Amino acid sequence: AKDEGGNTHYCYVPSLHANAEERRKLELSLRRAIGQNELELNFQPVVNARSETVVSFEALLRWNSEEHGFVSPAKFIPLAEDTRLIVPIGEWVLHEACREATRWPDDIKVAVNVSGEQLLEPMFANTVVRALADTGLAPHRLEVEVTESVFLRDGRTARQTLEEIMALGCSVALDDFGTGYSSLGYLRTLRFSTIKVDKSFVQGASQENQESLAIIRAVVAMARSLEMTTTAEGVEDADQAALIRELGCTKIQGFYFGRPMKAIEARSLVVKGRNS
């Protein structure tokens, strides 16, 4: 890797090797992460765009590894998906998230991210049933978040499983909308409760960037006519919040209203507010 000379072969192969080695180590650690108590859920508030009161929290996974320190989800989630470790990890997430939500007021939901690998697992709906039954959370308080990519590999199975989950009384949100490659056909037949407008559009939206504005406007209009709500992701300041409200998004999520926080902080946000 030292040789920066013309021969790319010498530069390329060793670094590939190092990456594979690092990846293998990371995978081994991730395999032990649940048992070692290294995984934790953070919760980020989602607010009603008009009243600015908390309507739900999104559960976001954090991994503080003994060997590797804090590892970003952008790194370990794809690894967990590639190795299918996301199946047991995702089951843990579902249980933890439901358990935590039972401590909140009844009108506050919990949103849980579910990867395609989990959704296509036979009996995934049973995993959801079990999480609800074990924790006692009412089904309507659980929202499952999926991205368009779940329809790419095996759209039929993904659709069937989502229908089963909806039949339980849970809601399903379409995450990162506008960033995927799949067709919009599934929007005709699946009753998503919410479309989450990806933060790239939200953060790009301004008077100087009419394109992002136009796209958000179109998504809001489409969601309305399909009787779905919209959540704008990645709202970081008051100007963005005002703009998003003007554009008619139903809900707002972003650092401006709250970062992902520890369970105990999220709890105090909604439990204290009601009692005082």
- The contact set with Ca ion (CB under 5 A) reads 113, 145, 175-176, 233
Return d(Cα 73, Cα 222) in angstroms, integer. 31
Partner touching 109 among ligand C2E, Ca ion, none, CB below 5 to 8 Å by kind: none
> Nearest to residue 192, comparing CAs of 162, 152, 222, 215?
162
Residue 195 touches which member of Ca ion, ligand C2E, none, C-beta under 5-8 Å by kind:
none
Q: Which does 117 bind (CB under 5 to 8 A by kind): Ca ion, ligand C2E, none?
A: none
| CB-facing half-sphere around the CA of 127: CA atoms within 13 A | 21
Residue type, 23: R
At 172, the amino acid letter reads: V
Q: Which of Ca ion, ligand C2E, none binds 148 (CB below 5-8 Å, type-dependent)?
A: none
* Percentages of the chain per state (helix, strand, coil), in multiples of 5: 50, 20, 30
Long-range contacts of 216-222 (CB under 8 A, 24+ apart): 216/244, 216/247, 216/249, 217/247, 217/248, 219/177, 219/178, 219/195, 220/247, 220/248, 220/249, 222/187, 222/195
Nearer to Ca ion among residue 100 and residue 145 (C-beta): 145
Q: Which is nearer to ligand C2E, 60 or 125 (CB)?
A: 60
- Shortest Å distance, C-beta 149 to ligand C2E: 10
Nearer to Ca ion, 77 or 132 (CB): 77
- The rounded distance, in Å, linking the Cα atoms of 74 and 7 is 32
Q: Closer to ligand C2E at the Cβ: 60 or 228?
A: 60
Cβ contact 186:151 at 8 Å: yes
Minimum CB–partner distance for residue 71 and ligand C2E (Å): 11
Chosen from Ca ion, ligand C2E, none, partner binding at 100 (C-beta under 5 to 8 Å by type): none
List residues binding ligand C2E (CB under 6 A): 44, 60-61, 73-74, 77, 86, 90, 93, 113-115, 175-176, 199, 234-236, 253-255, 260
* Two tokens, residue 64: 């503080």
CB of 96 to ligand C2E, least distance (A): 9
Contact of residue 219 among Ca ion, ligand C2E, none (CB under 5-8 Å per partner type): none
Which residue number places its CB atom closest to ligand C2E? Answer: 254
- The single residue listed with the structure tokens 């105090």 is 268
Residue with tokens 């008009």: 50
- Residue closer to ligand C2E, measured from CB, 98 or 254: 254
Which CB sits closer to ligand C2E, 115 or 230?
Answer: 115
Closest distance of CB 56 from Ca ion, Å:
11
